[in-house]
Amino acid sequence: MDALAERPPRPSIEVLEALWRDAGLPPDALSDAVLPADAAVLPSSFDVTTAVQASLGAAALAAVQIGRARGGPAQHVRVEAEHAVLDSLAWFTVDGQAPNLWDPLSGLYRVADGWVRVHANFAHHRDGVLGLLGLPAGPQTPRSAVEAGLAGWHAQAFEDAAAAAGLVVAAARSFAAWDAHPQAAALRAEPLVAIERIGDAPPRPWTPWPSRREGGRPLDGLRVLELTRILAGPVAGRTLAAYGADVLLINAPRLPNIEAIADTSRGKCSAHIDLDTPGGPATMAALVRDAHVFLQGYRPGALAARGFAPHDLAALSPGIVAVSLSAYGAEGPWAGRRGFDSLVQTATGFNVAEAQAYGVDTPKALPLQILDYAAGYLLAFGTQAALLRQAQEGGSWHVQVSLAGVGHWLRGLGRVDALQAQRPPIEPYIETVDSGFGRLQVVRHAAHFSATPVRWRRPAMPPGSHPPRWP
């Protein structure tokens, strides 16, 4: 076990309490959270159960506090561990069919001195890797050809070459190798959920609780502009929508999406804006002026180059909460590097450590995309924590979470003896709903409010189904 993992695991409620204190929120609210202790839900040597239960619990508890600040009912929130973990498996079907979420060329490959992981779910990433190996682009290239092409590479060299080409590849490292990396040192200096005041603005008063309207929820009337595509950001927006927010998901019509968008778009409006067209920036700016939250998951600097850096947002909408997701953190040599959950697990040591726990030589992934889902819940939590502070202190705020930072936190939760845990059946938690993608079977949201039941007001719809304006 590594040094960070020597401490014994902590109960989820204690982990939630630490998140709450670090966000500067009032401790008396913690009595409203109920996180029953439970055994590990999935097989792993890492405490993924606590990570999911505590991060989702923090997001739900923050929503309860916003509801109370608006004059809503006092209530408690309960998060069952089993439901929370199964809600974080990206499980869903469309018209009875489970989508294939992974490209055949994605995954681990042996190289001359170890292993690398390739992410090929987007065609341009797949074709970029194929080009780097001198192979023809397109889905017809067999995996065996990629295996042969990679056999002579060294892991670090291929990772560096891919990064220089703007591709997404990770060399498999041990925890010791990652801890010696300068990016790990930069991460250790960053909080898990960074909440920073970035400008002056008067407090934005809460709108009154919708007492005359049935089905009032804590975030009713909150406007969230979401520019995300891969799991963590969409999960954050979906969570805020479940608690009542009006979430407007913006996609560029030329960019691809993963099939999980059918699941993560529940509760949202979905519109197209292309910032590279003459009218795109003006349309976006008009939406920002009326937004309470701007949630984005693009590579650091990508939106800043188009005039939508956090300080630009604060100038357009004083009092706004800007929320940023990154792969490897805001500072350090990898701050601008692309990455997804599977790659960050590999690069930062998790896959090697999990393999060692199981006594196998091939790097082993964790049993769910824990970095994505915990990051999504922590983004939702940080967003609401900043809104609570804005209502008290005023100001414009910037919230930041990184996948690698979530990994550092997960290591700190300790290791568990759960290699033989059996995944429970998911069927008790499934509901069937209509959507613009087809008939969806999905897992119900795992946070339960005692007075204002969680629900999504809008069905999931494909990108571009709505106009780019607030509902």
Residue 255 scores a pLDDT above 90? no
Token look-up 């590849």 returns 169
**How far is the C-alpha of 180 from the C-alpha of 203, rounded, in Å?**
43
For 105-128, how does the pLDDT look when each residue is reduced to its tens digit (9 = 90+)?
Answer: 999 999 999 999 999 888 899 999
Count Cβ atoms within 10 A of the Cβ of residue 457 and give its class: 0-12 exposed, 13-18 middle, 19 or more buried.
Answer: middle
How far is the C-alpha of 161 from the C-alpha of 123, rounded, in Å? 18
34-83 residue pLDDT tens: 999 989 999 999 999 999 999 999 999 999 999 999 999 999 999 999 99
pTM of the model: 0.96
What integer pLDDT is reported at residue 258 of this predicted model? Answer: 79
Compute the average pLDDT of residues 435-464: 96
Residue 210 has what pLDDT?
A: 76
Q: Please calculate the CA angle 396-399-405 and round it to the nearest 5 degrees.
A: 160
- Does residue 343 contact residue 117 with C-beta atoms inside 8 Å? yes
The phi, psi pair for 117, rounded to 5°, reads: -115, 130
pLDDT at 215 over 70: no
- Of 133, 179, 180, the C-alpha closest to 153 is 133
Give the confidence band of 3 by pLDDT, cuts at 50, 70, 90: very low
Percent of the chain predicted with pLDDT > 70: 97
**Contact (Cβ atoms closer than 8 angstroms) between residue 398 and residue 310:** yes
**Where are the extended beta strands (E) located within 80-222?**
92-94, 107-111, 114-118, 169-171, 194-199
Residue 299 confidence (pLDDT) above 90 = no
CATH architecture, range 107-183+342-358: 2-Layer Sandwich (3.30)
Domain boundaries in the chain? 3-99+191-333+368-449, 107-183+342-358
What are the start-end ranges of the H helices in 359-438? 370-393, 403-412
List the strands of the sheet with 440-443, edge to edge: 92-94, 440-443, 430-433
CA atoms lying within 13 Å on the CB side of residue 169? 32
- pLDDT confidence bin for 266, thresholds 50/70/90: very high
Residue-wise pLDDT tens digits, 229-250: 889 999 999 999 999 999 999 9
Integer Rg of the chain from CA: 21
390 vs 386: CA distance, rounded Å: 6
Inter-helix orientation angle 370-393/48-69, to 10°: 20
pLDDT at 379: 98
* 3.40.1050.10, 3.40.50.300, 3.20.190.10, 3.40.50.10540: CATH of 3-99+191-333+368-449: 3.40.50.10540
The half-sphere exposure of 470 on its side-chain side, counting CA atoms within 13 A, is: 17
Average pLDDT over residues 325-340: 94
The single residue listed with the structure tokens 């300790």 is 414
Alpha-carbon distance of 422 to 124, in angstroms, equals: 37
* Average pLDDT score over the chain: 95
Residue 6 has pLDDT above 70, yes or no: no
Q: Could you give the CA distance from residue 93 to residue 260 in angstroms, rounded to a whole number?
A: 10
The secondary structure of 110-145 as a DSSP string is EETTEEEEE--SSHHHHHHHHHHTT---STTS-HHH
pLDDT in tens, 70-80: 999 999 999 99
Q: Quick one: what percent of the chain has pLDDT higher than 90?
A: 89
Structure tokens at 433: 């709903």
Mean pLDDT to the nearest integer, 291-313: 93
